[in-house]
Structure formats: C-alpha cells, structure tokens
Amino acid sequence: MDRTRLALNQYTVKPWSLREAIDGCIRHGIPSIAPWRDKLAAHGIAAAARDLRAAGLRVSSLCRGGFFPAPSAGERQARIDDNRRALDEAAAIGAPVLVLVPGPAEGASLAGARAMIADGIAALLPHAQACNVRLAIEPLHPMMIAERSVITSLGEANDLCASFASPHVGVIADVYHIFWDYRVEAEIARAGTTIAGFHLSDWRTPSGDLTSNRAMIGDGCIEIAGLARAVLAAGFTGDIEIEILNAALWAGDQELTLRTAVERYTALSA
C-alpha cells in the first residue's frame, strides 16, 4: 500500500512518548501520526504542535474523545466539556479529525445510551465547526459493548452520521471492529466520503483483556486488502493508520513492532 499515506497511531507503540514516536516516524519514513491525548498532555500542547511541524509530520487524527453516556446530566455535560477541550487540542496540533469512542451504556438502556451519544455529538458540533475539526464516530467491535461502545457496527455509525448531514461529522472504518459484518463492503460504500479514518490491525480471537489483543497486520484473518480497496473506492483520501493495541507487543521491542508493521503495511496490495 501507498507509503505516502501511512500514519502511525501512537498507541501501536504505547510505551513511547510523543517525542519517541515522532522520532520513530522519522526513522521509518512514516509521514503522518495520530497522537493520543495522554501523550499530548505529557508533552505539552504547544510544544507538540511545534515539534510535529518541525518534524514535517502530518497529523491524521487525535485519539480520542467520546464516552458520552453518563448517569447524570452534570456528568454528561462534563464529558461534553472535555470533548470541547479535545477539539481545541486537535485544532492546535493540526489534526483534521477527533476520533470519538462513543462509550458504554453506564447503566442506561442501550436505546438511552445511543440517544445520549447523538445528543453529545449535537452539542459538540458547533465547536467542531468553529475549530474546523471533524468528529469521527468509531463503531467498536460488539464484544466491547459493555465497556467501550454501544455503537457496534458501521451500519449503525453510518445511520448516526447521516442524521447530522454535516461535513464535520464522519465515521472511522477500523478493520478490527467491522470486518466480521457480512454487509461491511456495502456499508463502506454507503459511508463514502464520510469516512474520516481508516485503521489497520488484524484479528486473532482475543483472550484476556479484549481491548489490547489486536494482532499485527498479516498475523490474523482479516481480509485487509479487500477492505482497503473498498475504502479507497468509497473516496477516502486521508492517511491510513496502523493502530495495533496489543499488550504483549507493548511489553516487547517497540522498534521491532514499528518495523514489522511498516513492512506488513507496505506488502499489502490494495
């Protein structure tokens, strides 16, 4: 696949600081990066903006906002306020996209939680427009429904996205979260240019913590090349993120992880 569109999602090498991740991108010829907010805070927002620019890196997205459902109106407002700060941070570092992990039900019904997510995005949208940052709804694998996201399929994310009909709302197509769906290619086509991010890892049946068991590209059963063709055919023109959240890899050699991921990405034909 096209190396000029490659982006490193920073949690692929989670033990690294933002400085180390920037240096890793430079060493491996990766032209784009997706920082996470905790790493950004540790580095300082202004310093991050300066250092990313100095390194000549594009920013593909900022990870992450979202987590809208909460038991009380006050807590829901606090989440929205925090998402506004995330939009400010995205704008400051030149990220065109804020990834939204929608959040679990937190005691609400699924329908209630889904309504809170729609309300949260609606409340954020004016600030997203003002910042010129796109809110990107990421559907997560259904196994994460009780802990991360009640939005569990690309079809559902597409419906929610379509309800806003705004250039500042889009969806994330992460192969790990959506590949199992027999309608995935149809939903990718339907998403079209609302696709605001395309994330790569691979699937092996997880054991233990379900959130950090993603496989290295090529080590699992996801038909990545076919999904990539579908996403490109849909009109997605952004950078393509390697995002491999894997606790075993985090415990290992980050340089090896990064080298392997870049090799596997490069070998994909799409």
155 in contact with a copy of itself (CB under 8 A) = yes
145 in contact with a copy of itself (CB under 8 A) = yes
How many whole angstroms separate alpha carbon 19 and alpha carbon 93?
14
Nearer to a copy of itself, 187 or 241 (CB): 187
The radius of gyration computed from the CA coordinates of the chain, to the nearest angstrom, equals 17
Say whether 173 sits in a helix, a strand or coil.
strand
Task: Give, as one character, the DSSP assignment of residue 43.
Answer: H
116 in contact with a copy of itself (CB under 8 A) = no
199 in contact with a copy of itself (CB under 8 A) = no
What is the per-residue binding string for a copy of itself in 33-72, x denoting contact by CB under 8 A? Answer: ----------------------------------------
Q: Smallest gap, in angstroms, from Cβ of residue 152 to a copy of itself?
A: 5
Say whether 28 sits in a helix, a strand or coil.
helix
221 in contact with a copy of itself (CB under 8 A) = yes
Cβ atoms 202, 153 nearer than 8 A: no
Q: Which of 36, 203, 236, 265 binds a copy of itself (CB under 8 A)?
A: 203
C-alpha distance from residue 261 to each of 23, 200, 233 (Å): 16, 10, 24
How many whole angstroms separate alpha carbon 198 and alpha carbon 231?
8
Q: Smallest gap, in angstroms, from Cβ of residue 13 to a copy of itself?
A: 25
123 in contact with a copy of itself (CB under 8 A) = no
Q: Smallest gap, in angstroms, from Cβ of residue 15 to a copy of itself?
A: 23
Cβ atoms 202, 176 nearer than 8 A: yes
114 in contact with a copy of itself (CB under 8 A) = yes
Cβ atoms 241, 60 nearer than 8 A: yes
- Residue that is written with structure tokens 């890196």 in the block: 57
Q: Which of 110, 225, 256, 267 binds a copy of itself (CB under 8 A)?
A: 110
Site of interaction with a copy of itself (CB under 8 A): 105, 109-110, 114, 141-147, 151-153, 155-156, 159, 179-183, 203-210, 220-221, 223
